[in-house]
Structure 1
């Protein structure tokens, strides 16, 4: 990001999550998160650090737990475009209205049900899971 467009937040972004699905015509999407400002990532003119050292310090500070997120969301691209967003007070879903080219609120206060009939996760990563999760 050019300095003139930079701000005081840490933004993480995967512009095309699921890109390996494109050949199979499975939906893809973008995911993002925004964390609180972190002074460790600000360049200091008087600092003797090299740009590489400053970048490394920033990368380390971006690795934060999810409960530090201020904003998070994803957008899925398929036969319809769905955008899901939380700003810390509820989860909201929007659908792209192709006629107007705008997102329209379609669901408010989305919550995970206490129990469900279906589970879904990538079992291919089983060996990487924490032992408690494997149980």
Structure 2
């Protein structure tokens, strides 16, 4: 399967918020998250022909994103996180487990449906629903600590 330029640009437009959101949550720095997003889409473009089934595209991009973030965390010196600039919101989000952060960011930042989140993270729909419920409860608990 060869990827045409127009098709590639459409896919980038569709997935860019999800990729950037996950990268930002993993790395904690928006500038580095943008660099990671570029790297993810470069990898995607270079290795698209290896994709066997088109239905797996979303999960494949999700795996590329998470793998790239983990590689960056291992290889590069940790830079100052954006928590100070973004205030309490980011710091509270960082206290949640990774799976909770991912579903919240994909739902509310990337504006994905539960079905799209499941495809992106390669999870069954009921798992996404359960994780979203737990993430929301933990998020509310995190914010209720101040009251």
What is the TM-score with the length of structure 2 in the denominator? 0.25
- Greater relative CO (CA pairs within 8 A, separation 6+): 2
Pick the structure with more helix per residue.
2
Pick the structure with more strand per residue.
1
